[in-house]
Structure 1
Amino acid sequence: MIVEITDYGDENNQKFVEYTVSGLSSNQMKFLSDNLKDKTTIEDDVFKLKMYFSDELYPFQSDIAKFKLADFIAREEIEMNMFLSSFLEDM
């Protein structure tokens, strides 16, 4: 499974992060789509997840994120990979 952050920012006064996940089977994508509360789509064997955050919980608001953005994005991608992997264990 490969997780990439493909977009983040503000949308309609809400903070969001969009993840693109490749390397999943169709059964895994369907399971995630059916069981995650956040906005999900499946396009051309790619699973997309868009999560909305309150200002307090938005991961890209910290000072560290502003100065070391590439490192921060990589860490967020690893954390989402771990979250989805553990979520898929329930499949």
Structure 2
Amino acid sequence: MIVKIADYGQGDDGNFIDYAVSGLSEVQISYLRDNLSEETLAEGDILKITMYFDDEMYPFQSDAAKIRPDDFIAREEIEMNVFLSGFLEDM
């Protein structure tokens, strides 16, 4: 599984992160779409997940994140990969 952040920022619904997840089977994509509470969209073999955050929980609000955004993006991609891997273990 490969998790990439496709976009992040502040939108109409608040702070958000859009993830693009590849390397999943059709069964895994269906399972995640049916069981995650976040917004999901399957486009071919890519699962798109959108998560919304309160200001306190949004990982890209700090000054450090603004100075070194690549570090924060990499950390968020790793954390989402671990979360989804654990979630799929329950499949």
Structure 1 gap ranges (5+): none
3-state SS, counterpart of residue 86 of structure 1: helix
Aligned pairs (5 A) from 1:32-51: 32-51=32-51
Structure 2 gap ranges (5+): none
What CA distance in whole angstroms lies between the structure 2 residues aligned with 1:81 and 1:13?
A: 24
Q: Percent of pairs identical after alignment?
A: 60
Give the corresponding residue for 1:12: 12
Q: Do the aligned residues in 1 keep the contact of 2:2 with 2:21 (CA within 8 Å)?
A: yes
**Structure 1 length normalisation: TM-score?**
0.96
What CA distance in whole angstroms lies between the structure 1 residues aligned with 2:63 and 2:29?
A: 34
**Structure 2 length normalisation: TM-score?**
0.96
What CA distance in whole angstroms lies between the structure 1 residues aligned with 2:62 and 2:35?
A: 30
Aligned-residue RMSD, C-alpha: 0.8
Moved more, 11-20 or 79-88: 11-20
What CA distance in whole angstroms lies between the structure 2 residues aligned with 1:47 and 1:67?
A: 29
Give per-residue Cα distances to partners, 1:19-67, cap 9 Å, x unaligned: 0000000000010000000100000110000001111111100122111
What CA distance in whole angstroms lies between the structure 2 residues aligned with 1:17 and 1:64?
A: 17
3-state SS, counterpart of residue 81 of structure 1: helix
What CA distance in whole angstroms lies between the structure 1 residues aligned with 2:75 and 2:18?
A: 15
